[in-house]
Structure 1
Amino acid sequence: MMRKHLKPPGILMALILSLALAAFFVELNIAKDDSAEDSTVTKVTLNNGVDLNKPIIDISGWQLPSEMDYDTLSQQVNGVIVRVQHGISMKKKNNAAFQNGKDKAMDTHIQEFQKRNVPVAVYAYVNGKSEKEMREEANEFYERAEKYKPTYWWLDVEEVTMKSDFNQGIEAFRDELIKLGAKNIGIYTQDWFITANQLDVTPYNSIWLAHYGGDTGYWDTSPDTTIKYDLHQYTSRGRLNGFAGDLDFNRVSNIEDYNKLFNHGEPIK
């Protein structure tokens, strides 16, 4: 998700930020083993064995199930956010989505991770050109994913798709999800996009911000914003055993945010 708007800073600045922030993160989230001669760190034991150093990944049909070792991947992540659709129609053929907008890999991705007790949330790329289309997209989103009982429903908002009243349009999407029975609805975007388009994000239960910094594959910077967010997508170049390609990595800063987004690491019943 969200690639074209991100511009990495200079290499030197990225390195400085990376070192400073890494030190800060270590101090907050891990405890040092004083008995280790090489100062090796020991990870804190958290609720349900959640290790906040593990990433949360978001995936779609661009990550082919045939290329994913779900057994290996499931041991390295805290949660997965799976794309359900790219709007309700595709103008051009797309290897990752059907003509009706449904993501080709959504069912397999969700089923395989849920079988391995990895909590799964879902997202939909918002592409409606009118309030009517926004509500139609919400209906398809809910119908396609509801049976899986996702921990969270995310609206992926990356472009203004309505000539006027775009705020009203995405609110119609959210409102329709609520009417259908969805709870825990969040919005994925960038802080500058919220400001530039005067988006009202207050109705959402959570905000997920993309901010890559140097896009190094590691967390090297956080959004410089007053907007309260719970989830941070920090790179599109993450690497894990079990998949040969790049992955989007996301992080929460504390166990409370993790529990909020992923139901304490427990399956939704």
Structure 2
Amino acid sequence: MGKIVDISKWQGTIDFAKFATEADMAIVRVQYGSSTEDIKHKEYEAGLKANGVPFGAYAYARFVSVADAKVEAQDFLARADAATKFYVVDVEELTCPASEVVAATQAFIDVLRSAGKKAGLYTGHSFYKTYNMGAVDADFVWIPRYQTNDDGTIHQYVPDMPCDLWQYSQNGRIAGVAGAVDLNTLNGEKSLDWFTGKVSASITEPTAVGDVKVYPYVKITADVWMHSSPDFEVSTRVRVLKAGEIYKNYGENNGLIGIGGGYVSAKYVENTNQVATTTSDVWTHSTPDTDVASRVKVLSAGTSWKIYAETSNNMFKVGGEYVSKSYMTIN
């Protein structure tokens, strides 16, 4: 996996052609409160777009009230580039009464959401605990926590609280930037594709042959929660799926794979196949049907074959051909 880097004017001039060779994603500071627009954000956004690096944006919060938080959020939306994949409010110092910081942060996020944006919260490790920032309802949480000897490498001091992005260093390095940068890593169920809005390129999507749906198999790569709906909410958790279990893939939605009866993060699945044995001699078919015209060859009874998918009309996909499930048993 490449690097996830957050950048602001302090990084100076960036060679984005070099930057793109190491970066999977960037997060660009757009403003420092409403009064100060980051003088480099437009240059950075243009460089990232020109070199194919997906990016989100963050706004350093300086709001003094709930009403002021809404204004800052609106200014943020107006300034950020249209190609921005997600938006973050950065709340790491108290600029409003302590009793209002959660409500003001929530108001900021609600403005972003009302504009149809994916909205996250960045806040300090101690600040999160001191001011009950866990009460903020955000689409994702981003937390910094460094080791004492911050040498730019990932380490064991993971944030104490649940978070989706972990800023593990403020002394990292990346091609194209002369000085230090903040480095981040995924920490939780959400995949990189969830942040960038891409369909997981490594996961084979369901296809259709005429009216028949073809559902490829996926394997769970680590113990992970299944959710009742396509989101990552704690309230929708159903049960833990075990590493090695195999399911049909009904398609990706919001960074999760539908597996029949629930959804699992695309981060924790991979393409796979199963092995099935024929229970009698049986024809394969070039299309998912049992028509005589589509017959290809006979599989002998008692032979085993790799199967890569199942269809909506009860056939297995064996290589590029199809066999009725009535004549095969999964091993």
TM-score by length of structure 1 reads 0.69
Partner residue of 1:196 out of 126, 130, 136: 130
Q: Is the 8 A contact 2:163 2:188 kept in 1?
A: no
Partner residue of 2:173 out of 223, 230, 239: 239
What residue number does 1:107 align with? 42
Task: Could you tell me which runs of 5 or more consecutive residues in structure 1 were left unpaired when the two chains were aligned.
Answer: 1-51, 90-100
Where 2:133 maps in the other structure, the secondary structure is coil
Residue 56 of structure 1 and its aligned partner are, at CA, apart by 0.5
CA distance in 1, matches of 2:178, 2:3: 16
Say if 2:170 is the partner of 1:222.
no
Residue 132 of structure 1 and its aligned partner are, at CA, apart by 1.7
Name the amino acid aligned to 2:133: L
Alpha-carbon displacement from aligned partner over 1:206-243 (angstroms, at most 9, x marks no partner): 01110111321111233242x32111111111112322
CA distance in 2, matches of 1:78, 1:265: 15
Where 2:166 maps in the other structure, the secondary structure is strand
Say if 2:28 is the partner of 1:82.
yes
Residue 62 of structure 1 and its aligned partner are, at CA, apart by 1.1
| Cα 1:76–1:114 shift into 2, 3 Å | same
Say if 2:90 is the partner of 1:156.
yes
Residue 175 of structure 1 and its aligned partner are, at CA, apart by 1.5
Q: Is the 8 A contact 2:164 2:190 kept in 1?
A: no
What residue number does 2:17 align with? 71
Q: Is the 8 A contact 1:207 1:231 kept in 2?
A: yes
What residue number does 2:316 align with? none
| Cα 1:61–1:265 shift into 2, 3 Å | farther
Task: Could you tell me which runs of 5 or more consecutive residues in structure 2 were left unpaired when the two chains were aligned.
Answer: 201-331
What residue number does 2:119 align with? 185
Sequence identity, in percent?
28
Where 1:220 maps in the other structure, the secondary structure is coil
Partner residue of 1:259 out of 193, 197, 217: 193
Moved over 3 A (4+): 253-256
TM-score by length of structure 2 reads 0.57
| Cα 1:144–1:222 shift into 2, 3 Å | same
What residue number does 1:205 align with? 139
Name the amino acid aligned to 1:128: F
Higher helix share: 1
CA distance in 2, matches of 1:169, 1:253: 26
Where 2:198 maps in the other structure, the secondary structure is helix
Where 1:117 maps in the other structure, the secondary structure is coil
Moved more, 169-178 or 77-86: 169-178
What residue number does 1:174 align with? 109
What residue number does 2:51 align with? 116
Where 2:162 maps in the other structure, the secondary structure is coil
Number of aligned residue pairs: give it: 198
Where 1:156 maps in the other structure, the secondary structure is strand
Partner residue of 2:76 out of 124, 138, 141: 141
What residue number does 1:56 align with? 4
Residue 191 of structure 1 and its aligned partner are, at CA, apart by 3.2
Higher RCO (CA < 8 A, seq sep 6+): 1
Alpha-carbon displacement from aligned partner over 1:70-90 (angstroms, at most 9, x marks no partner): 10111111100000000012x
CA distance in 2, matches of 1:199, 1:256: 20
Alpha-carbon displacement from aligned partner over 1:244-269 (angstroms, at most 9, x marks no partner): 11111111157842121122389xxx
Residue 204 of structure 1 and its aligned partner are, at CA, apart by 0.5
CA distance in 1, matches of 2:75, 2:191: 28
Where 1:62 maps in the other structure, the secondary structure is helix
Higher strand share: 2
CA distance in 1, matches of 2:192, 2:125: 21
CA distance in 2, matches of 1:126, 1:256: 25
Q: Is the 8 A contact 1:222 1:232 kept in 2?
A: no
Which of the pair has more CA radius of gyration? 2
CA distance in 2, matches of 1:165, 1:234: 29
Alpha-carbon displacement from aligned partner over 1:80-109 (angstroms, at most 9, x marks no partner): 0000000012xxxxxxxxxxx100000010
